[in-house]
Amino acid sequence: MKFVLVLVAPRGKVSLTDAMVERVRRSIAGGEAAWLSPGEAAEIPCMMEPERDIIAEALEGAPIDALCVKARGRRKAVLIADMDSTIVTSETLDELAGEAGVGAQVAAITQRSMAGEIDFAEALRERVALLRGLDITALERTWRKTELMPGARELVATMRAHGAVTALVSGGFTYFTGRVAAELGFESHRANNLLDDGSRLTGAVGEPILDRDAKRAALHEIAALRGVKLGATMAVGDGANDLAMITDAGMGIAYHARPVLRQQTRLHVDHADLRALLFVQGYPASVFRA
């Protein structure tokens, strides 16, 4: 069959049952279902992409993610991932602002930027200016509090084990992307540079700023270096700044996304963790690496 519908449950919260899978299978006239991870993820082959409402009705309100992709070429050769609220659970700039005592002000600007209400570069400059004079030791304190998103380690390790190139491309800062990349095994990372005078932040950010266009350019460049077409790429992010790369990628995933991104994308992970990005490519949990 031409398509595959992948159902994924949030681990530790809800179980995907045989009954749920069978109801969905019947509602879409799908083929025989197969488990990718019992109780967590299953896939159903189908002839055409089913309507979202039909799937939702069959799931009877259960918080299960449903992602339909073409059966051919599911496994991707390139992964481009956003960092904040995607590979890590927090917005590192907001956390850094908390160290400076301007957390509420910066978080408000972040929300508007991620919602696409204000230009990303303008918002970044405005937020960084509020950090002027902050002791650079705050960067290390913020890093120590930063937590990885569940499933991040498996996502990167499994894709790399199967030959994919992985890159962290963030509108955040290289101080954090470098550490996250090293921790998880991303082969490369790109982000913005916070400027300091050797002891304190200057309130400025290096130019040019890595914005949505730079994220898209990174996707194209890394795919070309890998020698693959965009159809063989996966991109994942959560905000307006990720829209361009998600749109251009062969498989673009809006992950626990802001409404502005969710409304303009087709594949959404709203409930499960990053393991869902492996399941949608057809990887069973039995081959996951960590």
In terms of Cβ atoms closer than 10 Å to its own Cβ (0-12, 13-18, 19+), residue 215 is buried
Q: Is the link from the previous residue into 50 a cis peptide, with omega within 30 of 0?
A: no
Place of tokens 């002891």: 199
Residue 21 CB neighbour total at 10 angstroms: 23
- Is residue 84 part of the annotated active site? The answer reads yes
Question: Which one from 82, 94, 242, 273 is the annotated catalytic residue?
Answer: 82
Tell me whether strands 201-205 and 65-70 are parallel, antiparallel or unpaired. unpaired
Q: What are the Cα distances from residue 131, in Å, to 74, 159, 199, 202, 272?
A: 43, 37, 13, 8, 34
Question: Which one from 18, 53, 84, 197 is the annotated catalytic residue?
Answer: 84
What angle do helix axes 92-100 and 103-114 make, rounded to 10 degrees?
160
- Is residue 82 part of the annotated active site? The answer reads yes
Which residue, among 114, 75, 49, has the nearest Cα to 277 in the 3D structure? 75
Beta bridge partners of 88: 84, 148
Any idea which residues carry the catalytic annotation?
A: 82, 84
